[in-house]
């Protein structure tokens, strides 16, 4: 008798375990006894029930802003707080474009515009209606300790100081040599004679991609032959402008910006590269360098005069609006003046707001769910 009972117990537990693994989850499960008896152990593909929270993925630059909005949204409405993952812009697009359905994310954040290839991929997988919302601008700054003099750099200086290979300073056109410059003065006589020491993001970071595109590419294009190369051989151009030197002048200081600030505090000669929001949070310790004679400040980034600024976006699947509760209201929260306006709470976190007309344009796009077409890109 006892053995039968023990045996039965074993079998029951195993059945329960297997059915949990094989079956998809049901939204109302909370008792494990319930799991063991009520499932019909179907293995294989999932059976998803409707998701009642918004699923957002994407850029780690937009993440700090999206999380603030999500929290406000969760607290002021009866909807659940959206779940936001920081996967990077590229990873976010991959997840986003995989298809329509509750198992795919509803919104993806991006620190760059969607590429044409990504848009087409969406269409291929059934994601045909995508709404594009720009939320504001982010600046990339090169900052140093407040104890030293602020730097005044041109983008050409930046390129020459940090690229792995630079045009031969002894003038042979079309020739590249390994970067010979050791001090800033070598690059540009008007700069101080301090060792070139720049701490920046690793290749996994979106900030690095943005920096390379905005600063290095522009600096490289100051050389006419490199500029011409862009049209002929895009890959070669990219290699020249995107590859940063590895001899110790450029130090990949990891993803933790706090450590970079500490390092800058200790070493007044070093510069650090990060997003404007971080500079904004740490104005007690660091100051931004002038780029092309423009100081990185709120106004300058907003009106576009600071050259190293980029727009931030998020993209919404129109098909999910209505199925997943709360998307429309989340959009409304994000595009409200009290969030992204000049005095909004996102601005306090370091987001540079768009000019009023642009805000109105995108608020309208959010409200009416205006879909973009891949040909615009």
Partner 1 sequence: MAETTVIDDGKKSEAFVLSPEKLRRQRIAKFIGEGFLLVVASFVAVVVLFIFYFVAVDAIPFFQQRGFAEFFTSTSWYPADEPGEFGALAIIYGSGMVTIGSALIAVPLGISAAICLSDVLPFSVRQYAKPVIEMLAAIPSVAYGFFALVIFAPLLQNYGGPILMWAWWLIAGPFVLLAVIVVGDVLTSGNDDSSKRKTMRAVLTGVLSIIAVVFLYWAGSALNAIQILSGTNALNVSLILSFMALPTIVSVSEDSLQAVGRELREGSYALGATRAETLVKTVLPAASSGILAAVILGIMRAIGETMVVWMASGNSSHIPDPWYNYLDSIRTLTATIAGDMGEADQVTGSARYHVLFAMGLLLLVFSFFSNLISERIVVRQRKILSGE
Partner 2 sequence: MSSSKNKSIAGASGSSRRERTIDIVNRRLAKRYRIEKRFRFYGLCSIIVSMVFLAVLLTSIVSNGYSAFFQTYVRLDITLDSAMLDRENPGKSNFQAIIKQSINKLYPEVEDRKSKRELYALFSSGAAFQLRDLVMRHPDLIGTTVSLWVPADDDVDMLMKGYIKRSVAENERRLSDRQLGWIDRLADQDRIEKRFNVTFFTAGDSREPELAGIWGAVKGSFFTLLVTLVLSFPIGLAAAVYLEEFAPKNLATDFIEVNINNLAAVPSIVFGLLGLAVFLNFFGMPRSTPLVGGLVLMLMTLPTIIIASRAALKAVPPSIREAALGVGSSKMQMVSSHVLPLALPGMLTGTIIGMAQALGETAPLLMIGMVAFIVDIPGGFTDPAAVMPVQIYLWADSPERAFLERTSAAILVLLAFLVLMNAAAVIMRKRFEKRW
Residues found near partner 2 in the complex (CB under 8 A): 2-3, 6-7, 10, 13-14, 16-17, 20-21, 24-30, 32, 44-46, 48, 51, 53, 55, 63-64, 67-68, 70-71, 74-76, 80-81, 83-86, 103, 146, 255-258, 278, 281-285, 343, 345, 348
The nearest distance, CB 264 to partner 1, in angstroms, is: 11
Could you tell me which of 131, 88, 127, 81 has the C-alpha nearest to residue 109? 88
The nearest distance, CB 117 to partner 2, in angstroms, is: 22
**What is the SS3 assignment for 179-213?**
CCCCEHHHHCCCCCCCECCEEECCCCCHHHHHHHH
What mask, x for binding partner 1 by CB under 8 A, covers residues 2 to 41?
A: -xx--x--xx--x---------------------------
Question: Which helix H or strand E contains 361, and what residues bound it?
Answer: helix 356-368
Per-residue exposure over 66-90, b if at least 16 CB sit within 10 Å of its own CB, e if not: bbbbbebbbeeeebebbebbbbbbe
Question: Which helix H or strand E contains 135, and what residues bound it?
Answer: strand 130-145
The nearest distance, CB 99 to partner 1, in angstroms, is: 9
The nearest distance, CB 258 to partner 2, in angstroms, is: 6
The nearest distance, CB 62 to partner 1, in angstroms, is: 14
Say if residues 232 and 305 touch (Cβ distance below 8 Å): no
Say if residues 314 and 108 touch (Cβ distance below 8 Å): yes
Could you tell me which of 9, 267, 252 has the C-alpha nearest to residue 143? 267
Chosen from partner 1, partner 2, none, partner binding at 203 (C-beta under 5 to 8 Å by type): partner 1
The nearest distance, CB 199 to partner 1, in angstroms, is: 7
For β-strands 55-58 and 250-252, DSSP reports them as unpaired
What mask, x for binding partner 1 by CB under 8 A, covers residues 75 to 114?
A: -----------xxx-xx--xx-xx----------------
Say if residues 165 and 178 touch (Cβ distance below 8 Å): yes
The nearest distance, CB 190 to partner 1, in angstroms, is: 27
Chosen from partner 1, partner 2, none, partner binding at 259 (C-beta under 5 to 8 Å by type): partner 1
Q: What is the rounded CA–CA span in Å between residue 223 and residue 217? A: 10
- Closest to partner 2 by CB, 16 vs 307, is 16
Chosen from partner 1, partner 2, none, partner binding at 251 (C-beta under 5 to 8 Å by type): partner 1
Among the listed residues 44, 189, 248, 322, the single contact to partner 1 using CB under 8 A: 248
Residue 255 found at the interface with partner 1 (CB under 8 A): yes
Question: Which helix H or strand E contains 251, and what residues bound it?
Answer: strand 250-252
Q: What is the rounded CA–CA span in Å between residue 104 and residue 81? A: 17
Chosen from partner 2, partner 1, none, partner binding at 96 (C-beta under 5 to 8 Å by type): none
- Closest to partner 1 by CB, 39 vs 118, is 118
Q: Counting Cβ atoms within 10 Å, is residue 260 exposed (0-12), middle (13-18) or buried (19+)?
A: buried
Among the listed residues 259, 338, 355, 367, the single contact to partner 1 using CB under 8 A: 259
- Closest to partner 2 by CB, 260 vs 352, is 260
| Dihedral (CA of 58, 60, 61, 64) sign | positive
Residue 45 found at the interface with partner 1 (CB under 8 A): no
How is residue 256 written in tokens? 């933790």
What mask, x for binding partner 1 by CB under 8 A, covers residues 140 to 179?
A: ----------------------------------------
Say if residues 269 and 343 touch (Cβ distance below 8 Å): no
Chosen from partner 2, partner 1, none, partner binding at 80 (C-beta under 5 to 8 Å by type): partner 2
Q: What is the rounded CA–CA span in Å between residue 235 and residue 356? A: 38
Rg (CA), the chain: 26
The nearest distance, CB 118 to partner 2, in angstroms, is: 19
Per-residue exposure over 9-35, b if at least 16 CB sit within 10 Å of its own CB, e if not: eeeeeeebeebeeebeeeeeeeeeeeb
Q: Which residues bind partner 1 (CB under 8 A)?
A: 3-4, 7, 10-11, 14, 86-88, 90-91, 94-95, 97-98, 197, 199, 202-204, 209, 235, 238, 242, 246-248, 251-256, 259, 262-263, 266
């Amino acid at each position: 008798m006892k053995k039968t009972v023990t045996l039965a117990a074993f079998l029951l537990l195993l059945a329960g375990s297997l059915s949990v693994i094989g079956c998809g989850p049901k939204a109302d499960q909370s008792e494990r006894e319930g799991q063991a008896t009520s499932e019909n152990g179907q293995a294989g593909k999932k059976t998803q029930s409707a998701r009642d929270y918004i699923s957002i993925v994407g850029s780690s630059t937009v993440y700090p802003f999206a999380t603030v909005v999500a929290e406000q949204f969760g607290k002021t409405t009866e909807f659940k707080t959206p779940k936001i993952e920081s996967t990077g812009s590229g990873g976010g697009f991959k997840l986003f474009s995989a298809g329509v359905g509750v198992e795919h994310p509803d919104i993806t954040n991006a620190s760059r515009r969607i590429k044409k290839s990504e848009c087409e991929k969406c269409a291929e997988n059934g994601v045909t209606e995508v709404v594009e919302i720009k939320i504001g601008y982010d600046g990339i700054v090169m900052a140093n300790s407040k104890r030293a003099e602020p730097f005044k750099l041109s983008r050409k200086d930046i390129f020459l100081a940090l690229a792995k290979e630079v045009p031969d300073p002894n003038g042979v056109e079309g020739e590249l040599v390994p970067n010979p410059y050791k001090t800033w003065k070598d690059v540009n006589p008007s700069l101080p004679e301090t060792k070139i020491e720049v701490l920046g993001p690793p290749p996994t970071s979106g900030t690095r991609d943005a920096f390379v595109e905005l600063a290095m590419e522009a600096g490289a294009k100051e050389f006419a032959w490199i500029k011409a190369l862009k049209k002929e051989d895009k890959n070669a151009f990219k290699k020249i402008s995107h590859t940063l030197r590895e001899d110790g002048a450029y130090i990949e200081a990891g993803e933790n910006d706090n450590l970079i600030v500490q390092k800058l505090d200790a070493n007044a000669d070093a510069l650090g590269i990060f997003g404007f929001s971080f500079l904004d949070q740490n104005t007690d310790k660091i100051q931004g360098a002038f780029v092309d004679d423009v100081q990185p400040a709120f106004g300058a980034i907003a009106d576009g005069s600071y050259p190293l600024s980029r727009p931030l976006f998020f993209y919404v699947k129109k098909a999910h609006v209505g199925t997943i509760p709360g998307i429309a209201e989340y959009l409304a929260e994000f595009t409200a003046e009290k969030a992204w306006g000049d005095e909004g709470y996102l601005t306090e976190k370091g987001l540079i707001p768009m000019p009023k007309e642009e805000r109105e344009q995108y608020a309208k796009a959010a409200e009416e769910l205006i879909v973009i077409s891949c040909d615009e890109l």
